[in-house]
């Protein structure tokens, strides 16, 4: 679906930057410092998915 192309490319670039930062270790880079932010994005995505599923169910039930 072309709708999610920008999101997929953005996540791919983010993952590549994260892997490169972990490999080169600039100034003591640690994934542990970024863990709460990444967890928040995952939770936001899960909540968005649940909301859209609930709205689709309501639309289907009508």
Residue recorded with tokens 């709460």: 36
Q: What is the pLDDT of residue 1?
A: 54
22 close to 29: Cβ distance less than 8 angstroms: yes
Quick one: pLDDT at residue 55? 93
CB of 22 within 8 A of CB of 31?
yes
Would the pTM count as exceeding 0.75?
no
Q: Does the pLDDT value for residue 30 go beyond 90?
A: no
Across 2-6, 42-46, 56-60, least confident range? 2-6
């Amino acid at each position: 679906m072309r709708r999610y192309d920008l999101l997929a490319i953005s996540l791919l670039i983010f993952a590549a930057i994260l892997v490169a930062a972990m490999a080169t270790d600039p100034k003591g880079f640690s994934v542990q410092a970024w863990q709460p932010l990444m967890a928040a994005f995952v939770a936001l995505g899960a909540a968005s998915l649940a909301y859209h599923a609930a709205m689709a169910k309501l639309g289907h039930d009508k």
